[in-house]
């Protein structure tokens, strides 16, 4: 029983399950910090997963697959930007549209190109990011505690997992220690002030949205060509929305985002292992409880019962430079 | 971007028409990319959805779902709220339908069960919308996010209930027992024998949906509450000065919206499936967003848009049969494009139109609904 909650396999799968969430969550962070609400994370991830799997299958090169995933996600991001920044359309509506487009197009094109009911063929060797064993992992395994931690938890993930966790300090640094980050945060709070300072609101927001696309590309590629070996119809299965929940849970902060994603990844990992198990004294906890928990927690947080989640002030509001 | 530079018919007719045309042109492009002939696709779509009795029956059956979910989204829109939770509210609405049917179907005829079913489904849907509504009204939590979360919570809850609590014993399928005659709505075929809808499950709920559409029109444009809803949607600050309590209106509107979404379950559960089963909503709640946007929030527009989407769903099924490369996922693409062009890019063509109209001098007389 104890093993389900506290064991290296559980923690391992927590890290793996948290990775796509973390990429997507940071993606949303850039976008929403600049004032562009993005509920299309799910669709971008799905599109990226499909692009990555298709190209990785055709070229047998995981890196080209990743690149393709990024290209797809950035294109969808630009569409979102065109609708919500240039045309000042409703950002929620645009996000919903992108989710539908991605869900439909990936399945449709997948069927038309590969004829396997919307999935892509299994990836050839080289088309997948494999687990990396960190140096000296085997030698360290016998060292108690630290060695085991290194060998069993830190070592043995795909490069994208490390990338996701490195993206956290990087994001923190970009947002809080660079000029670009300062402006990005400013444009999410008070675009008029940024505009008055002579900085283009449009260009800033477009850059934020493009970064969002790049990170969604990583998230999707991870799902399709690292975690699994190919694209499956609807393979994101709501992960984009969990990432969105994590973003709110993290109150739009990078380090919190990582912790939130780890928490949600942990819940997922435990849920998988809890199936058919019963906790002494409580009895069998239905899997659905664990599945619903991230959403329930987010709603409770949103309700202001655990701290208060306050979004960037200008998020969701298109910026109108002047009245003509 | 001052308003009123376009004649009314252009704003209400021409712009939506242009947006829809754009959506369908891009859809055609997608068909071309797959390597099929768009003209042929349109022919099969039209024939499959309107060409024969059973096709029309299925079109109307799907349209019934979309009228309910479209109205649900539209009512919330009028108050400036975006209810993305139609999916979950409809799902939970199924509980209300099933409760009434399972309790009554063996004792009374269907017309006694029906009022309880309506009440049950609307109450269940409204209850599921209540928490996000209350959170928006009292705690300022954004209703879009909470309703998304509630869709997922509903999905988990319904699986749990169907598997562990109300599911048929000894069955591997997560579903309730099949309702007897007292829990089944009559098919339109039985009421109007001169129509031949074949095996299509179009049933009495269609009339209920049309009545609801009329009810929504009455509510929004002919009642005090509707006026308050529209005022809140147009200008929340002004609404406060007019003595309208935003919190109260938000909660009431969201509950009406949730109730309408919940009533969608009547069509599926009491009208067609005759048992509560897993994932019976299958995206119809989300289609409501496209329907409401396309119908521009007006019940008449929503009924028309619902029929169009019904045609897409039914024609799409025929299409997947005739041209295997164009799977039913094509409907999702079209749906996405309609939401994109009719919703997010709503005003893309407006500046160009304004320029054209100023250039050609605005026609003095307004021709109502000249375009479509």
Tens digits of pLDDT across chain B (372 residues): 444 577 878 777 788 888 889 999 999 999 998 888 889 989 998 999 998 889 999 999 999 999 999 999 999 999 999 999 999 999 999 999 999 999 998 999 999 999 999 999 999 999 999 999 999 998 888 888 899 899 999 999 999 999 888 887 777 788 888 898 888 988 888 888 777 888 889 999 999 999 999 999 999 999 999 999 999 999 989 999 999 999 999 999 999 999 999 999 999 999 999 999 988 998 899 899 989 988 889 999 999 999 999 998 999 888 888 888 888 888 889 889 988 998 888 888 888 888 888 877 655 554 444 443
Chain CA centroid to CA B267, Å: 12
Q: Which of residues 53-72 of B touch A (CB under 8 A)?
A: none
pLDDT at residue B371, as a whole number: 43
B214 and B334 both lie in a single domain: no
State the greatest distance between any 2 C-alpha atoms of chain A, in Å, as a whole number: 72
B12 and B121 both lie in a single domain: no
Contacts of B29 in chain A (CB under 8 A): none
Tell me whether A322 touches chain B (CB under 8 Å): no
pLDDT at residue B194, as a whole number: 79
pLDDT at residue A238, as a whole number: 86
Chain CA centroid to CA B128, Å: 17
B137 and B237 both lie in a single domain: yes
B25 and B165 both lie in a single domain: no
Contacts of B286 in chain A (CB under 8 A): 96, 100
CA distances for B228 relative to B79, B109, B135, B220, B372, angstroms: 8, 40, 20, 9, 31
Domain-located, residue B235: yes
B222 and B346 both lie in a single domain: no
Q: Domains of chain A: which residue ranges?
A: 2-131+144-302
Cβ atoms of B44 and B316 within 8 Å: the answer is: no
Tell me whether B133 touches chain A (CB under 8 Å): no
Tell me whether A83 touches chain B (CB under 8 Å): yes
Residues 6+ apart with CB under 8 A from A216: A23, A24, A27, A41, A44, A45, A48, A73, A76, A77
Q: Which of residues 21-60 of A touch B (CB under 8 A)?
A: 39
Question: Which domain range does residue B116 map to?
Answer: 62-189+200-324
Q: How many whole angstroms separate alpha carbon B340 and alpha carbon B158?
A: 31
| Interface mutation target, options B132, B148, B325, B352, chain A, most CBs of A under 10 Å | B148
B336 and B309 both lie in a single domain: no
Nearest CA to B67 among B254, B262, B255, B305? B305
Kindly give the confidence (pLDDT) of every residue in chain A, 324 residues in length, as a single tens digit, with 9 standing for 90 and above.
677 777 888 888 898 899 999 999 999 999 999 999 999 999 999 999 999 999 999 998 999 999 999 999 999 999 999 999 988 888 888 998 999 999 999 999 998 888 887 788 888 888 888 887 777 777 777 777 777 777 777 877 888 999 999 999 999 999 999 999 999 999 999 988 999 899 999 999 999 999 999 999 999 999 999 888 889 988 988 899 889 888 988 889 999 999 999 998 988 888 877 776 777 777 777 888 888 888 888 888 878 776 666 788 888 788 887 654
Residues 6+ apart with CB under 8 A from A114: A54, A120, A121
B348 and B275 both lie in a single domain: no
HSE on the CB side for B272, CA within 13 Å?
Answer: 22
| Interface mutation target, options A108, A284, A291, chain B, most CBs of B under 10 Å | A108
Tell me whether B31 touches chain A (CB under 8 Å): no
Tell me whether B165 touches chain A (CB under 8 Å): no
Q: How many whole angstroms separate alpha carbon A69 and alpha carbon A53?
A: 8
Architecture of domain A2-131+144-302 in CATH? Orthogonal Bundle (1.10)
Q: How many whole angstroms separate alpha carbon B102 and alpha carbon B94?
A: 12
Residues 6+ apart with CB under 8 A from B169: none
- Number of domains making up chain B: 2
Domain-located, residue B54: no
């Amino acid at each position: 029983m104890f093993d389900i909650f506290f064991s290296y396999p559980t923690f391992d799968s927590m890290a793996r399950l948290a990775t796509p969430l973390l990429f997507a969550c940071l993606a949303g962070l850039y976008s929403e910090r600049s004032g562009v609400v993005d509920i299309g994370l799910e669709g971008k991830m799905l599109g990226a997963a499909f692009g990555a799997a298709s190209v990785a299958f055709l070229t047998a090169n995981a890196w080209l697959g990743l690149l393709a995933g990024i290209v797809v996600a950035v294109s969808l991001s630009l569409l979102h930007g065109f609708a919500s920044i240039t045309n000042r359309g409703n950002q929620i509506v645009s996000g919903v549209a992108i989710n539908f487009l991605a869900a439909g197009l990936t399945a449709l094109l997948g069927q038309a190109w590969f004829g396997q009911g919307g999935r892509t063929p299994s990836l050839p060797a080289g088309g997948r990011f494999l687990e990396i064993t960190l140096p000296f992992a085997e030698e360290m395994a016998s060292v108690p505690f630290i060695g085991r931690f290194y060998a069993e938890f830190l070592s043995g993930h795909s490069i994208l997992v490390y990338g996701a966790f490195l993206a956290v300090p990087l994001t923190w640094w970009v947002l809080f220690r660079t000029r670009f980050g300062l402006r990005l945060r400013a444009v999410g709070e008070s675009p008029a002030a940024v505009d008055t300072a002579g900085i283009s609101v449009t260009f800033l927001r477009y850059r934020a949205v493009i970064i969002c696309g790049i990170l969604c590309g990583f998230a999707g590629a991870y799902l399709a060509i690292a975690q699994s070996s190919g694209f499956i119809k609807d393979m994101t299965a709501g992960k984009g929305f969990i990432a969105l929940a994590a973003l709110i849970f993290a109150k739009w902060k990078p380090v919190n985002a990582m912790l939130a994603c780890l928490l949600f990844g942990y819940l997922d990992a435990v849920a998988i292992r809890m199936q058919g198990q019963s906790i002494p004294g409580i009895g069998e906890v239905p899997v659905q409880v664990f599945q619903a928990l991230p959403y329930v927690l987010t709603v409770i947080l949103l309700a202001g019962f655990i701290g208060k989640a306050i979004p960037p002030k200008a998020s969701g509001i298109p910026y109108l430079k002047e009245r003509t | 971007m001052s308003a009123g530079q376009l004649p009314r018919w252009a704003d209400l007719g021409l712009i939506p028409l242009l947006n829809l045309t754009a959506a369908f042109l891009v859809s055609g492009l997608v068909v071309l990319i797959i390597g099929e002939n768009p003209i042929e696709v349109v022919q099969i779509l039209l024939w499959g959805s309107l060409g024969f009795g059973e096709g029309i029956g299925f079109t109307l059956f799907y349209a019934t779902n979309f009228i309910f979910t479209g109205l649900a989204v539209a009512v919330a829109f009028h108050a400036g709220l975006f209810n993305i939770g139609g999916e979950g509210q409809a799902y939970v609405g199924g509980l209300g339908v099933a409760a009434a049917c399972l309790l009554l179907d063996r004792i009374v005829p269907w017309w006694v069960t029906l009022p309880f079913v309506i009440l049950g489904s609307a109450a269940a849907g409204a209850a599921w919308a209540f928490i996000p509504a209350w959170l928006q009204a009292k705690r300022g939590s954004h209703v879009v996010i909470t309703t998304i979360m509630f869709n997922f919570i509903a999905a988990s809850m319904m699986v749990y209930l169907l598997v562990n609590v109300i599911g048929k014993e000894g069955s591997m399928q997560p579903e309730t027992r099949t309702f007897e005659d007292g829990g089944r709505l009559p098919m339109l075929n039985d009421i109007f024998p001169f129509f031949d809808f074949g095996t299509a499950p179009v049933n009495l709920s269609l009339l209920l949906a049309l009545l609801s559409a009329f009810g929504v029109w009455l509510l929004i444009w002919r009642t005090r509450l509707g006026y308050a809803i529209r005022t809140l949607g147009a200008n929340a600050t002004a609404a406060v000065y007019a003595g309208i309590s935003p919190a109260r209106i938000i909660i009431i509107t969201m509950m009406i919206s949730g109730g309408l979404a919940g009533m969608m379950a009547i069509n599926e559960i009491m009208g067609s499936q005759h048992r509560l089963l897993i994932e019976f909503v299958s995206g119809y709640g989300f289609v409501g967003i496209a329907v409401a946007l396309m119908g521009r929030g007006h019940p008449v527009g929503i009924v028309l848009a619902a029929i169009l989407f019904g045609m897409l769903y039914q024609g799409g099924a025929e299409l997947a049969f005739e041209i295997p490369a164009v799977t039913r996922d094509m409907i999702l693409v079209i749906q996405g494009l309609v939401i994109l062009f009719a919703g997010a890019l709503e005003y893309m063509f407006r500046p160009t139109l304004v320029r054209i109209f100023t250039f050609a001098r605005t026609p003095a007389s307004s021709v109502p609904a000249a375009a479509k």
